[in-house]
Amino acid sequence: MAFAFQKRYRDIVDLNELTDGRCYLHPMNEALTTRHSFFNVFGPIACFLGLALFGCQSPHPRQAALDQLHELHESVAVAYEQLRTLPADSVLASARWASVNLHELELLMSDGHIEITKAEGAIVSEVSRARRLLKDHESRRNRLTQNTERTQLQLNLLAEAIAQNATVDGSGTPIDSSYIEQQVAIETRIARELIEALEETIDLAQRGVVVVKGARADNDSLQVILRARLARYILDGVNTSIPEDS
């Protein structure tokens, strides 16, 4: 990060360690394991229908758990769709602009003889803020796509195990009411953290693009001014002392 005074946003949660290795369906149950996914994150309709069908077919008290898993699955799908429809090209172009221009400004100001006014410093701050908001957007987006697919798959598998009245999970652990309550709580926490991460990433990207649009003209003008000051110093050896803004 270029400027220490910029607000630090917390990193997007990495769900890999939380989601890997859970296998709710026993291989003998004619069900899928985590190694054989039937869910495609880009086509969640089939999954919604499947979960709804499980709910309709099962009069068991486990219905409440099925309803909760279905609601979580749908909420994750909605949040991910909002990220997926975010114009990636525009966001990445803005991120590249902010990174390149902040670097250019830092180079122009790296000579101790070049000074700037408070107003000019505010322009630099805006470019820096844009870079911070858009930093690592592409990697975050890719990671969230993987986490969404993994989380929805786990919700699907747990729902299937409950709907089929499975008695043991993939590791041989008995599936009883306590097991279901515990695993639904785990999946709920992970799904909510994922939704929060998706919403945060969307918010950062949208704000970053807005900041870039507002900073472009001022940044271009400032770079022209700074280059002129630097040229003057190189040619004349005159320290470019700038009076403080009133």
Domain residue spans of the chain? 25-31+42-236
Task: State the virtual CA torsion across 17, 18, 24, 27 in degrees, nearest 10.
Answer: -10
pLDDT at res. 86: 94
Phi, psi of 22 (to 5 degrees): -80, 125
Check pLDDT > 70 for residue 25. Answer: no
Query: What is the Cα 19 distance to its own chain's centre?
Result: 17
Check pLDDT > 60 for residue 161. Answer: yes
Residue range 184-200: average pLDDT?
Answer: 97
Residue range 39-55: average pLDDT?
Answer: 47
pLDDT at res. 60: 57
User: Residue 84's closest CA among 143, 42, 48, 46?
Assistant: 42
User: Residue 69's closest CA among 145, 183, 172?
Assistant: 183
More confident residue, 109 or 58: 109
Within 13 Å of residue 233, how many CA atoms lie on the same side as its CB?
A: 17
- Residue the block writes with tokens 């002129």: 228
Confidence of residue 223 (pLDDT cuts 50, 70, 90): very high
Check pLDDT > 90 for residue 55. Answer: no
Confidence of residue 213 (pLDDT cuts 50, 70, 90): very high
In the DSSP assignment, the letter for residue 135 is T
For the segment 3-16, what is each residue's pLDDT rounded down to a tens digit?
222 322 333 444 44
Q: Rounded to 5 degrees, what angle do the CA atoms 42, 48, 54 make?
A: 145
pLDDT at res. 180: 94
Phi, psi of 114 (to 5 degrees): -95, 120
Q: Report the C-alpha gap between 26 and 96 in whole angstroms.
A: 48
Check pLDDT > 80 for residue 241. Answer: no
One DSSP character per residue, 183-230 reads: HHHHHHHHHHHHHHHHHHHHHHHHHHHHHHHHHHHHHHHHHHHHHHHH
For the segment 107-127, what is each residue's pLDDT rounded down to a tens digit?
998 877 788 899 999 999 999
Q: Report the C-alpha gap between 241 and 243 in whole angstroms.
A: 7
- Structure tokens given for 89: 């090209």
